[in-house]
Amino acid sequence: MTPTQAPADTLIQIDNLSFAYGDNQVLDGLNLIVPRGKLIGILGVSGAGKSTILKLIGGQLRPTRGQVRVNGQVVHELDNDALYRMRRSMGMMFQAGGLFGDLSVYDNIAFPMRELTDLPEELIHDMVIMKLNAVGLRGASQLMPAELSGGMARRIALARAIALDPMLAMYDEPFAGLDPISLNVIAELIRRLNDAIGTTSIIVTYDVPETLKVVDLAYFIHDGHVVAAGTPQELKTTGDPAVRQFIDAQPDGPVAFHYPAPDYGKDIQIGKQ
């Protein structure tokens, strides 16, 4: 399905999207559709442009070609006020967690509620407690981020991302650095919360097994564009070499281990004198 064929229930439509950091062409004609209410995985090796896609969706970056439509609006065409309004309906779990180190767990969750709404403090209190209970950490509300384990910090970051029941929740490498138990807990929480609050969610990650357990649809990004898309079962049985290399964790294949560089022998200085 191409973006020009996007159904009415599409929340995000990415059409012929290209972006480069200087001479480094990260995305090159990428097409991608995110249906409303679904949990979507965007998979690929480090440096494939997964996090860049999230920044383009949120308007932090502007494409060099193509466009991103969110809820029918072309993101890079919005003025500052319209972009701010759109972002109010988004939640973001940052790659490093992004918790405010000088605020308690409670105040971290309350921050977007206080910043973006005029809700009374009594209602904010109950909403914070509800979100913390949803991630199993209601008893940790008065702890500081430095007192949390890695898994606990990710759960708090997740709770903050969905604090206002956003139209769109985005998770940037939510499984990185977690032990298997914490990883499974986070994955199941993302799935359960997506369905419970009726939001649309995007996970960008290189963790294939855990992601394919919980998503409705996944995209594989390679060389700046989508090389495969489908349900978890469809992707597990694909014959695409780049996707098979990634799923099977093979060192050799279309995805090169080495970043482009001059000939190794010519780059060595010893013995050239």
Q: What are the backbone angles phi and psi of residue 253, rounded to the nearest 5°?
A: 160, -165
Domain end position, chosen among 165, 188, 203: 165
- Which H or E run includes 84? helix 80-87
For residues 141 and 208, state if they share a domain: no
Choice between 192 and 259, residue whose per-residue pLDDT is larger: 192
- Measure the CA dihedral 248/191/57/175, to 10°: -50
Higher confidence at residue 3 or residue 61? Answer: 61
Q: What is the pLDDT of residues 63-79, one digit of tens each?
A: 999 999 999 999 999 99
pLDDT at position 3: 46
Asked if residue 173 is part of any domain, the answer here is yes
The whole-number average pLDDT for the span 103-123 is: 94
Confidence of residue 243 (pLDDT cuts 50, 70, 90): confident
Confidence of residue 7 (pLDDT cuts 50, 70, 90): low
Q: Identify the pLDDT of residue 273.
A: 56
Strand partners, 43: 205, 220
Range of the domain at 207: 1-89+166-229
Q: Is the pLDDT of residue 193 over 80?
A: yes
| Token pair in block for residue 68 | 């991103």
Q: Which long-range contacts (CB under 8 A, 24 or more apart) does 149-152 make?
A: 149/182, 150/177, 150/178, 150/179, 150/182, 151/178, 151/179, 151/181, 151/182, 151/185, 151/186
**Which DSSP state fits 94?**
B
**Does residue 5 register a pLDDT over 60?**
no
Q: What is the CATH number of the domain that holds 25?
A: 3.40.50.300
Does one domain contain both 31 and 46? Answer: yes
Say yes or no: 158 and 35 in one domain: no
Asked whether 74 and 67 are in contact (CB, 8 A), the reply is yes
Q: What pTM was estimated for this model as a whole? A: 0.85
Residue 45 lies in a domain: yes
pLDDT range class, residue 239, cuts 50, 70, 90: confident
CB 167 within 8 A of CB 200: yes
How many domains does one find in the chain?
Answer: 2
Task: At 202, list the tokens.
Answer: 């995007």
Same domain? For 19 and 106 the reply is: no
Residues 125 and 3 reside in one and the same domain: no
